[in-house]
Chain A
Amino acid sequence: MNLKPIIETRNVDKHFGAFHALKGVTATFYEGQVTAIIGPSGSGKSTYLRTLNRLEAHDAGSITVDGIELNDDLKHLDAIRREVGMVFQSFNLFSHLTILKNVALAPMRVRKMSKADAEAKALALLERVGLKDQAHKYPVQLSGGQQQRVAIARALAMDPKVLLFDEPTSALDPEMVNEVLVVMRELAHTGITMLVVTHEMGFAREVADRLIFFDHGVILEDTTPAEFFANPAHERAKTFLSQVRSN
C-alpha cells in the first residue's frame, strides 16, 4: 500500500473553557486510507475531526494537511479547505438554493469554474449518488438520506483529497442509513482518503482500513477494525463495545 502521509497531527490540544476536549492527540493519516473514528459521546472524536479543517482552532500542537501547516494564516486555511471536504451530521445543505446549486456553488466561487461547467459537473455527481432527477428541488423537499447524499456530492464537487464525515448517519431515520452507507462504501473504494466519525460499527468493521477509539480526549486505541472488534486492548473499549452490541 502506498503510504504517503496526507494529514499529520502532533500533540493537538483543545479546551472549551475549563473542559479539556483534546489532550495531545498525535496521529498520521495516509493517502487512500479509510479511518473510522469511534468512541463515546463527548470523547473528543468530533472535535478532533473539526480541528482538521479548522472549524475548531486547536490551542496547541500542530496540524499539517497535504504539507501545509494549519494556523492563523488565512492563505493556508483556504488552501487546506479546498483539499478537505466535509459531510456534517445535520447535512447543512444551503436551504435557499436548489440541489443543483448547492453542489455547483463552491466550484463556481472557489475554483472559478463557469456556471455551465459547474452545473454539468454537479449533475454528474448527483447521478453518481442517484439523485439526478432531484436536481431542481430544494433541500426541504428531500428525505434525510437524500439530503446527506447531496451533501456528499457537494463535498466531492471540489475534488477534495480528503473527506471528513462527522457522524453522517446519526441524524437519519434507520431506514435511510443504508442508502448513505452505500454511497460511502462506493467512495471508499475510489482511493479517496476518508476519516469517518461514526456509530455504525458495521461500516467501521467492513469498510475501514483503520480504526481509532477515542476516550476523554485521547486516542486510546489505533488499530485495524478486525483487531479492535476481536481483542480490544483497553477496559474502556471493551465496555463501549459491549454497550454498542447490546443495542
Chain B
Amino acid sequence: MNWVKQNPGWTMLGSMVGLVLFLWGLGSLIALAPEPIGPAAKEFADGARVTVWLTLIAGLAGIVIGVVAGLGKLSSFLPLRWLCDFYVWLIRGTPLLLQILFVWLVLPDVLPDSVKPSDFACAAIALAVNIGAYNTECVRGGILAVPHGQVEAARALGLSPLQTFMDIVLPQSMRVALPALANNLASLVKDTSLAYAISVSELTMIGSRVQASSYKPIPVFLTTAIIYLTLTTAFTTLTSALETKLDAGRKR
C-alpha cells in the first residue's frame, strides 16, 4: 500500500496501537463466540497476552544478544570470537524445545535458593538465547555490509570508535539486517508456543486445555490460529514499516 510506504512512522505506531487494542478487546470479542470458545474467552485473552509478552521480551533481549555476539564474532580478540562462535554453534545445533527444558530444569538448581525463576522467566530466557543466536548471524552480516569508507570518514572527523559504531555502523547495518531479523521475530511469535512444555499458560496451552475439556478441536484450533495470525501480522507490519523507515537514503 502506498500510504503505508509513505508513512512508516504512523504505520509502526498504528500496528502497535492495533496490537494493544486487539489484546484489550480480545476477551469481550471472543466472549461473543458460541461454545466451546465463548466461555473460555478470558483464558484465550490471557494466553494471547502471555504469548505477546514472551515475544516482546525475548525479541528485544534477542536483538541485544545478537548485536553483542555479532560484534563479538567480528572481534579481533580471539577468545571472544571463539566464545561467540561456540554460542551460535551450540544453539543452532540443538532443538529449541531441549533448550527450554534445559533452562527450566537447570536454572533453578544453579541459582541461589532465594531467586526462584518463574516458568515464564525460564521460557523468556531460553527463547531470548535461542533467537539471539540466529540474530547474531544477521547482525554480523549487516555490519560486514557497511562500506569501510563510512568508518574511515567518521574516524577522520574525530568520532570515537564507540560513536562511529552507534551513529554510523549500527544504523547502517540494521537496515541490511532487518529483513532477516524480522524473519526471526515472526518465527519467535510461534516458537513461544513451545513454552507450553514447561507449563507456561500461553496461547497454545490454552487452546490445548479448552480442546481437552470440550473435545471440539476444530473451533478451538481455528480460534488459536486466528489469534496467532493477528499477532504475526501486527509484528510483521511493524518490522516492514521499520524497514521502510530505515531505507531512507538508500534509493532515489
Residue of B at shortest CB range from A102? B153
Taking CB atoms and an 8 Å cut-off, the chain A residues in 28-61 that contact chain B are 53, 55
B167 CB contacts on chain A under 8 angstroms = 94, 105, 109
Taking CB atoms and an 8 Å cut-off, the chain B residues in 222-252 that contact chain A are 246, 248-252
In the assembled complex, the Cα of A155 lies from the Cα of B150 at a distance in Å of: 14
Which of B155, B160, B172, B251 contacts A96 (CB under 8 A)?
Answer: B172
Residue of B at shortest CB range from A54? B155
In the assembled complex, the Cα of A86 lies from the Cα of B156 at a distance in Å of: 6
In the assembled complex, the Cα of A88 lies from the Cα of B152 at a distance in Å of: 9
Which of B155, B159, B252 contacts A55 (CB under 8 A)?
Answer: B155
In the assembled complex, the Cα of A94 lies from the Cα of B172 at a distance in Å of: 9
B68 within 8 A of A: no
Which of B154, B158, B172 contacts A95 (CB under 8 A)?
Answer: B172
Inter-chain contact B158/A141, CB cutoff 8 Å: no
A3 within 8 A of B: no
Taking CB atoms and an 8 Å cut-off, the chain A residues in 92-127 that contact chain B are 92-98, 105-106, 109-110
Interface centre among B156, B159, B246 (most CB of A within 10 A): B156
Interface string of B182-202 (1 = CB under 8 A from A): 000000000000000000000
Residue of B at shortest CB range from A98? B249
Inter-chain contact A92/B149, CB cutoff 8 Å: yes
B171 within 8 A of A: yes
A85 within 8 A of B: yes
Q: How many A-B residue pairs have CB under 8 A?
A: 72
How many whole Å from A55's CB to the nearest CB in chain B? Answer: 6
A109 CB contacts on chain B under 8 angstroms = 159, 163, 167
Taking CB atoms and an 8 Å cut-off, the chain A residues in 121-154 that contact chain B are 138-141, 151, 154
Inter-chain contact B175/A158, CB cutoff 8 Å: no
A23 within 8 A of B: no
Residue of B at shortest CB range from A110? B158
A82 within 8 A of B: yes
Q: With contacts A88-B149, A96-B172 known, is A110 near B157, CB below 8 A? A: yes
Inter-chain contact A106/B157, CB cutoff 8 Å: yes
Range class of the A interface residue count:
20 to 34
Inter-chain contact A85/B156, CB cutoff 8 Å: yes
Interface centre among B147, B153, B157, B167 (most CB of A within 10 A): B157
A78 within 8 A of B: yes
In the assembled complex, the Cα of A155 lies from the Cα of B246 at a distance in Å of: 25
B16 within 8 A of A: no
How many whole Å from B76's CB to the nearest CB in chain A? Answer: 14
A81 within 8 A of B: yes
Inter-chain contact B159/A110, CB cutoff 8 Å: yes
Inter-chain contact A55/B156, CB cutoff 8 Å: yes
Inter-chain contact B248/A96, CB cutoff 8 Å: yes
In the assembled complex, the Cα of A141 lies from the Cα of B248 at a distance in Å of: 11
Inter-chain contact B248/A90, CB cutoff 8 Å: no
Taking CB atoms and an 8 Å cut-off, the chain B residues in 106-159 that contact chain A are 147, 149-150, 152-159
In the assembled complex, the Cα of A85 lies from the Cα of B246 at a distance in Å of: 28
Inter-chain contact B153/A94, CB cutoff 8 Å: yes
B40 within 8 A of A: no
Known pairs A96-B175, A110-B157 / 9 extra A-B pairs, C-beta < 8 Å: A81-B155, A81-B156, A88-B152, A92-B149, A94-B154, A94-B172, A95-B249, A109-B159, A141-B252
Can you list 30 A-B contacts with CB-CB less than 8 angstroms, sorted by A residue number? A53-B156, A78-B158, A81-B155, A81-B156, A81-B158, A85-B156, A88-B149, A88-B152, A88-B153, A92-B147, A92-B149, A94-B150, A94-B167, A94-B168, A95-B172, A96-B172, A96-B248, A97-B249, A105-B157, A106-B157, A109-B163, A109-B167, A110-B158, A140-B250, A140-B252, A151-B153, A154-B157, A155-B157, A158-B157, A158-B158
4 shortest interchain CB distances as A-B pairs: A138-B249, A92-B153, A106-B157, A92-B149
